[in-house]
Amino acid sequence: MADTTALAPSAGQEDSDGAVEIRRSVVIRFSGDSGDGMQLTGDQFTNTSAVLGNDVSTFPDFPAEIRAPVGTIPGLSGFQVNFSSDDLYTAGDAPDVLVAMNPAALKANLRDLPAGGAIIVNTDAFTRNNLRKAGYEDNPLENESLKSYEVFEVPLTKLTQKALEDIEEMSNKQKDLCKNAFALGLSFWMFDRPLETTINFYEKKFGNRPHIVEANTRVLKAGYYYGENTEAFQHRVSLPQRSVVESGTYRRITGNEALVLGMVTAASKANKPLFYGSYPITPASAILEGLAALKQFDVRTFQAEDEISAMGSIIGAAFGGAFAATASSGPGLALKSEAINLAVVLELPMLIVNVQRGGPSTGLPTKTEQGDLLEMFFGRNGESPIPIIAPATSAECFDLAVEAFRIAARSMTPVILLSDGYIAHNSEPWKIPNPDDIEPIVSNYRTDPQGYQPYMRDAETLARPWVIPGTPGMEHRIGGLGKQDVTGNVSYTPEDHEHIIKTRAEKIGRIANFIPDLEVAGPDEGDLLVIGWGGTFGAIYAAVKQMQEEGKSVASTQLRYLNPFPKNLGNILSRYKQVLVPELNLGQLSLLLQARFPVRVVPFNKVQGQPFQIREITHKIVELLG
Amino acid sequence: MSEVAVAEKLTRKDFVSDQEVRWCPGCGDYAILAQMQKIMPELGIPREQIVFVSGIGCSSRFPYYMNTYGVHSIHGRAPTIATGLKAVNPDLSVWVITGDGDALSIGGNHFMHTLRRNVDVKVILFNNRIYGLTKGQYSPTSLPGHRTKSTPMGSIDYPLNPLSIALGAEATFVARTQDTNTKHLGEILKRAAAHRGTAFVEIYQNCVVYNPTAWDHTTDPNVRDDNILYLEDGEPLIFGKNRDRGIRLNGLEPEVVELGEGDSGDGLLVHQEDYKNTHYPFLLSRMGHPEMPLPFGVLRCVDKPAYTDMINDQVKQAVEKVGDGDLKDLFHDSDTWTVE
C-alpha cells in the first residue's frame, strides 16, 4: 500500500538511479472508452504541466454518443496534451506518446503515432472479446505489428484493483473506474511532474466522499511508484519551464470558460444584469452551465424550450435593458435566424455566440468546423447586416466576448461571435487580467423624453437610443414591420424602406472606425500572405513561423473582425504576390475576400471535423513557394 | 406613492397612441382595444410600467395602438420575448396579445412552456377560428368541416381547445370572455391583471370578413344566454335566459338539469376557482356547444410562485449565500501559477 501522506518527489528532482532526458516539447494522447475518464485524466495532466510552468495546449476529442458500446472505436474518448518549454500554438500535429486503455484505443490512434513513438497499453483490456470489438484478428501485442514503436505493457486494471483491495466501501466496478488515475500517475512519473495539483483536485471534487479521495490518491501514487520501480520506465523525460513568459498570474482556460467569464465581465463593466437564454446543444452547453453557477454576479440564466425561445428571450431582456446573450451551434443558429432578424430590425444590443461544429444538419456535433461563416453573414431574409467577430484562441474568447458587448452597446446591434468546437474545448494558459484595467462599457442610454424618437440616431455611430421600459414619458412601440427612420413608425413607403435599410448597413459599416487595424506577423510585403480567421490561428501562425525560419518570404495574419473587415485589409492583401486562405470549410472567407477585394486567393480547405495540423499548412506553403 | 397618484389620474385617452387603427371596420379587435384602454387607468400602474408584446396576425397590431411600451414581434414568439423582458424587469406589467394561429399553431411550443413555467405575463388570446391577416385560411381552432380558402372541401383537422391546452399546461389563471360582452371583458381583464403568474384569457373575437358567424351562438341576443354559463366563484352552475338550468355531475360527466320553480340548485356543481388540481376546470373547458353551455369567466385561479419571480429570487439567494460576485475572485477560481 502506498504511503498516503508523503507526496511524490517534486518536479525536476533527479532520482537516485534514473536518467532524466531534457526535452523542449512533448505531445501525449490519452485514449480509452468514453467512461474511462480520459477527459479528466488529460485535464489533470494539463493542469499540472501548466502549474509547473510549461506552455500547454489541448485537444479533447470525444464521441457524440454518451456511452457508445464499451470497447468499440465509436465509443472512444481522447485527450491530447501538448506541453512545452516554448510557446505553443496548437495541441500538436501528432502524439509522441499514446496511452491506450483498450485495443480500440490502440487501433484508432496508431495511425497518428509516428514510428518510434511510445505506447502505454493496459494489457488487462486486451481480451479476446475486446480485440474482436476493436476489429483485431490477432493480438497486436503478440505479433510484430508494433515493432516500430516503444511499447510499455502495463496490467493497469489488476494493479489498480491490487492498490485498492482493502477498501471495502467500493465494489470492484467502482475500483476499476480508478484506473485512469494509475495511467495519470505513471505519466506523471515518465514526464517528471508532481502529484500535488491532482491530489488537491481529488480532495476538492470528492471531499464529501473520503474513500473516493483515498482511492484515487492511492492509485495515482501507485501509478507513479510503478514507474519509479519498474525498469522499463527508468528513462524519464523532463521539460524545463518556459523561459520567456510575460510576468503575471496564469490559469488554464477553455474557449467556453473564457466566454462565460467574458460575458460576466462585460455586464459587470456596464453595471448591468446579464441575461443568458439558451437551449442545450453541443458544443455550447458548457456556457449555459457555467453562467448558471454565477448568479451572484446578477446573472439570470433561462434554459428555454427551444432555440427560438432562447433567441426571443434575449431580445426581450435586451429591450428590458439587460446585457443579453445566447449561444448555440449550427443547427440552433438556423432556428434562431428569424428572431435574430427581429433583433437587427429592433436595433437592440445583444451577443449571439455560434460555437461551430461539423455540418450540415446535425453533422458532427462534437467535432470542429468553420462552415457557418457565410450563414452568419447572409443566412437571414432581407438585408440584415450583423457585426461578426471570431476569437483566434481559447483565451481570446474572453477579450472578444467583452468586445462584442462593447460593439453591441455602442452601435445598438446584435453581434455574432463565431467560436468553434476546437477552441471551445482546447485549453491554454490565460494571463489573468485585472478587472479594474478593463474599460467600462458605455451604452447609448437615454432617459430624457425631450425630443425623443425611437429611431433617432447618434451622428457618429448611427445607433438609436436605448430606452428601457419603466422610463416615464418615453413609451414607444417597436416591431419587425418596415418602418420610417427616426420616428420608427410603420411605413411601406419605398423611400422610407430604402433609407432605413441603407442606414442599418451604414451603421454596421461604421463599426470599422472603432476596431483595430489588422496586424501581420512577418514581412510587410512578400511572396505569400497566409490569412485565416478564428480558431485556425495556432496552426497558421506556427506553420508560417516555421517557414519564416526557413527563409521563406511569407507572413500570416488572422482576422478577428469579419464584419466589417478591418479598414486596412485591402491594403494588406495587395502587398503580397500570393494569398493563401486556409479554412475548415470549402472556401467561405476566400469567397468573401474575392468578392470584396481585387485579389485572387488560393483557398486551402479541410472539412474532416479536425483542426489543421501545422504540417498540412507548411506543405501547402512549400507547394506554393517551392 | 407619487407614481401611483399620477397613475390614478390617468384616463382612457392616456392609453390611446397616435397611430391610426387599421383593423377592418366592425372587427372585434376594436372592442377589445377599447376595453383595454378603459381598464388600464383603473389598474393603478404607471403607464411606463406597462408593456404589450405581440406576435403576428391581425390581433398582433394591438401594441401599436396602446400608448405604453410595446413590441410587435414575430409569429408565435411573443411569449419568449415577454419572458426575457419580465425576467430582467419583474416590476413591469407585461401583456402578450396573440391569436389562435399565433398562440396555438406556430407558437404552440412557447405558449405551452410559458404557461407551465407560470411566467408572470398576461396572455390574451383573440380566438376567431380563422387566419384573417393572410385572408381566410382555417386555423387550429376552426371547426371540422369548415370551408375556407385552404379547405374548399371542409377542414379535416380536429381543432384545439385553448382552455384545455392551458389547463393541460397547468396554467394558474384561465378565463374566457367575449369581445362584444364589454362589461364582462373588462372585469376579466382586470382579474387577469391582478394575477401574479401567467394569466390566460381566451376572448371569443369576431372576424367580420372571414368568419363572421363563428360566435353567433354566443352573441345573438335570442340564444346567447342559453349558450353561456357565467362562472361565479362559490356559486352553483346555473344558466339560461331565465336561469332555469343547472349543471350537475353524473358520474364523471357533467349534465344539464332543468330547475323547477323555487329550486335553489341543491346538488348542482358549485364553482370554485382555486381547486389545487385541474380536473374540475378541465371538465368545464370540455363543455362544448351545442350540447352544453360554454363557460365564461374565471375557470381557474390558483397561487403558485411565478418563474419570473423565482429567477430573481435565486439571484438574491446566491448573493446572500456567497456575497456579491467579485471578478478578481472569479478569474482566480482555478489552479493558478505565477510567473515573476
A-chain residues near B48 (CB < 8 A):
469-475
CATH class of A19-238: alpha beta
Closest CA to B88 of A267, A288, A314: A314
For A402, the 3-state DSSP assignment is: helix
The nearest CA of chain A is from the CA of B140 a distance in Å of 21
pLDDT tens string A279-326: 999 999 999 999 999 999 999 999 999 999 999 999 999 999 999 999
Closest CA to B246 of B236, B261, B232: B236
Contact: A300, B85; criterion CB under 8 Å: no
A-chain residues near B84 (CB < 8 A):
275, 277, 302, 312-320, 324
Strand partners of residue A57:
A82
Contact: B70, A324; criterion CB under 8 Å: no
The nearest CA of chain A is from the CA of B279 a distance in Å of 26
ipTM associated with this complex: 0.96
Contact: B315, A249; criterion CB under 8 Å: no
What cell numbers appear for A72 in the block?
468499440
pLDDT band (50, 70, 90) for residue A7:
very low
Give the per-residue pLDDT at B221.
95
Contact: A469, B49; criterion CB under 8 Å: yes
B-chain residues near A470 (CB < 8 A):
48-49, 89, 91-92
In the predicted model, is pLDDT for residue A494 greater than 60? yes
Strand B336-339 vs strand A248-254: parallel, antiparallel, or unpaired? antiparallel
**Which residue blocks in A230-361 are alpha helix, DSSP H?**
255-269, 285-292, 307-319, 330-346
- Domain spans, chain B: 2-214+305-313
pLDDT tens string A207-219: 889 999 999 999 9
Q: Evaluate whether B125 touches B201 at the Cβ level (below 8 Å).
A: yes
CA B212 to chain centre: 22
Contact: A312, B77; criterion CB under 8 Å: yes
DSSP strand E in A367-426: where?
Answer: 388-389, 414-420
Contact: B71, A299; criterion CB under 8 Å: no
Nearest to B336 among A312, A342, A432 (CB): A432
Listed as own residue / partner, the contacts of A599-607 with beta carbons closer than 8 Å and 24 or more positions apart are A599/A573, A599/A574, A601/A531, A602/A578, A604/A580, A606/A582, A607/A358, A607/A369, A607/A371
pLDDT band (50, 70, 90) for residue A19:
confident
What cell numbers appear for A12 in the block?
525536476
Buried/exposed A251-261: b ≥16 CB within 10 Å, e otherwise:
bbbbbbbbbbb
pLDDT band (50, 70, 90) for residue A10:
very low
What cell numbers appear for B262 in the block?
323555487
Q: What is the mean pLDDT of residues A179-206?
A: 95
CA atoms of A506 and A481, how far apart (whole Å)? 20
Contact: A249, B336; criterion CB under 8 Å: yes
CA atoms of A323 and A502, how far apart (whole Å)? 27
Give the per-residue pLDDT at A14.
45
B-chain residues near A472 (CB < 8 A):
46-48
In the predicted model, is pLDDT for residue A496 greater than 50? yes
- Domain spans, chain A: 19-238, 251-437, 526-625
pLDDT tens string A373-417: 999 999 999 999 999 999 999 999 999 999 999 999 999 999 999
B-chain residues near A201 (CB < 8 A):
335
CA atoms of A275 and B124, how far apart (whole Å)? 26
Nearest CA in chain A to B317: A296
Give the per-residue pLDDT at A5.
29
CA atoms of B233 and A207, how far apart (whole Å)? 55
Q: 3-class secondary structure for A590-620?
A: HHHHHHHCCCCCEEEECCCCCCCCHHHHHHH
Give the count of Cβ contacts less than 8 A between chain A and B: 224
Buried/exposed A3-26: b ≥16 CB within 10 Å, e otherwise:
eeeeebeebeeeeeeeeeeeeeeb
Nearest CA in chain A to B51: A469
Nearest CA in chain A to B116: A305
DSSP strand E in A397-451: where?
Answer: 414-420, 427-431
Nearest to A296 among B324, B331, B337 (CB): B324
pTM as predicted = 0.92
**Mutation target among B116, B331, B338 for the A interface, most CBs of A within 10 A:** B331
> How many Cα neighbours within 13 Å face the side chain of B282?
12
In the predicted model, is pLDDT for residue A201 greater than 70? yes
CA atoms of B16 and A620, how far apart (whole Å)? 68
CA atoms of A585 and A134, how far apart (whole Å)? 31
Give the per-residue pLDDT at A243.
75
Distances (CA, A) of A460 to A252, A451, B215: 39, 19, 55
Contact: A316, B82; criterion CB under 8 Å: yes
Closest CA to B218 of B289, B116, B133: B289
Give me chain A's average pLDDT, please: 94
Q: Evaluate whether A239 touches A203 at the Cβ level (below 8 Å).
A: no
Give the per-residue pLDDT at A15.
46
Contact: A316, B328; criterion CB under 8 Å: no
pLDDT band (50, 70, 90) for residue B2:
very low
Closest CA to B200 of B133, B126, B282, B123: B123
B-chain residues near A300 (CB < 8 A):
87-88, 311-312, 315
> How many Cα neighbours within 13 Å face the side chain of B76?
15
In the predicted model, is pLDDT for residue A618 greater than 70? yes
Contact: B335, A302; criterion CB under 8 Å: no
**Mutation target among B69, B106, B333 for the A interface, most CBs of A within 10 A:** B69
Closest CA to A258 of A281, A302, A280, A291: A291
Nearest CA in chain A to B89: A320
CA atoms of A189 and A593, how far apart (whole Å)? 50
Buried/exposed B2-23: b ≥16 CB within 10 Å, e otherwise:
eeeeebeebeeeebebeeeeeb
Strand partners of residue A420:
A356
Nearest CA in chain B to A265: B327
pLDDT tens string B76-109: 999 999 999 999 999 999 999 999 999 999 999 9
In the predicted model, is pLDDT for residue A274 greater than 60? yes
Strand B50-54 vs strand B93-99: parallel, antiparallel, or unpaired? parallel
pLDDT tens string A56-88: 999 988 777 777 788 999 889 999 999 999 999
In the predicted model, is pLDDT for residue A543 greater than 80? yes
Q: State which fold the A251-437 domain adopts.
A: Rossmann fold (3.40.50)
Nearest CA in chain A to B320: A296
Strand partners of residue A99:
A30, A120
The nearest CA of chain A is from the CA of B274 a distance in Å of 28
Nearest to B331 among A298, A432, A469 (CB): A432
Element (H, E) at A449: none
Q: What is the mean pLDDT of residues B3-15?
A: 72
Contact: B339, A311; criterion CB under 8 Å: no
Residue with cell 497486436: A140
Nearest CA in chain A to B67: A475
The nearest CA of chain A is from the CA of B317 a distance in Å of 8
- Which CATH number applies to A526-625: 3.40.50.920, 3.20.20.70, 2.60.40.1080, 3.30.450.40? 3.40.50.920
Nearest CA in chain B to A432: B331
Q: 3-class secondary structure for chain B?
A: CHHHHHHHCCCHHHHECCCCCCCCCCCCHHHHHHHHHHHHHHHCCCHHHEEEEECCCCHHHHHHHECCEEEECCCCCHHHHHHHHHHHCCCCEEEEEEEHHHHHHHCHHHHHHHHHHCCCCEEEEEECCCECCCCCECCCCCCCCCCECCECCCCCCCCCCHHHHHHHCCCCEEEEEECCCHHHHHHHHHHHHHCCCCEEEEEECCECCCECCCCHHHHCCCCHHHHEEECCCCCECEECCCCCEEEEEECCEEEEEECCCCCCCCCCCECCCCCCCCHHHHHHHCCCCCCCCEEEEEEEECCCCCHHHHHHHHHHHHHHHHCCCCHHHHHCCCCEEEEC
CA atoms of A69 and A83, how far apart (whole Å)? 32
B-chain residues near A434 (CB < 8 A):
328
Q: A571 Cβ partners below 8 Å, 6+ apart? A: none
DSSP secondary-structure letter at A495?
Answer: H
pLDDT tens string B110-133: 999 999 999 999 999 999 999 999
Whether residue A69 is preceded by a cis peptide bond, meaning omega within 30 degrees of 0, is no
Nearest CA in chain B to A449: B48
Closest CA to A389 of A521, A259, A540: A259
**Which residue blocks in A478-536 are alpha helix, DSSP H?**
494-509
B-chain residues near A304 (CB < 8 A):
80, 113
Give me chain B's average pLDDT, please: 95
Q: Evaluate whether B299 touches B163 at the Cβ level (below 8 Å).
A: yes
CATH number at B2-214+305-313:
3.40.50.970
Q: What is the mean pLDDT of residues A270-281?
A: 98
Distances (CA, A) of A454 to A312, A315, A343: 20, 16, 15
Contact: A312, B88; criterion CB under 8 Å: no
CA atoms of A446 and B118, how far apart (whole Å)? 32
Contact: A51, B327; criterion CB under 8 Å: no
- Domains A251-437 and A526-625 alike in fold: yes
* Share of residues in chain B with pLDDT > 90 (%): 93
CA B127 to chain centre: 10
Nearest to A480 among B48, B72, B113 (CB): B72
Q: A494 Cβ partners below 8 Å, 6+ apart? A: none
Nearest to B87 among A200, A300, A435 (CB): A300
CA atoms of A294 and A290, how far apart (whole Å)? 7
In the predicted model, is pLDDT for residue A452 greater than 60? yes
Distances (CA, A) of A561 to A162, A169, A244, A270, B132: 56, 56, 29, 22, 45
CA atoms of A251 and A253, how far apart (whole Å)? 6
CA atoms of B231 and B215, how far apart (whole Å)? 19
**Mutation target among B19, B33, B85, B119 for the A interface, most CBs of A within 10 A:** B85
Nearest CA in chain A to B330: A261
Give the per-residue pLDDT at A18.
56
Nearest to B89 among A277, A294, A469 (CB): A469
Q: 3-class secondary structure for A1-36?
A: CCCCCCCCCCCCCCCCCCEEEECCEEEEEEEEECCC
What cell numbers appear for A224 in the block?
507513479
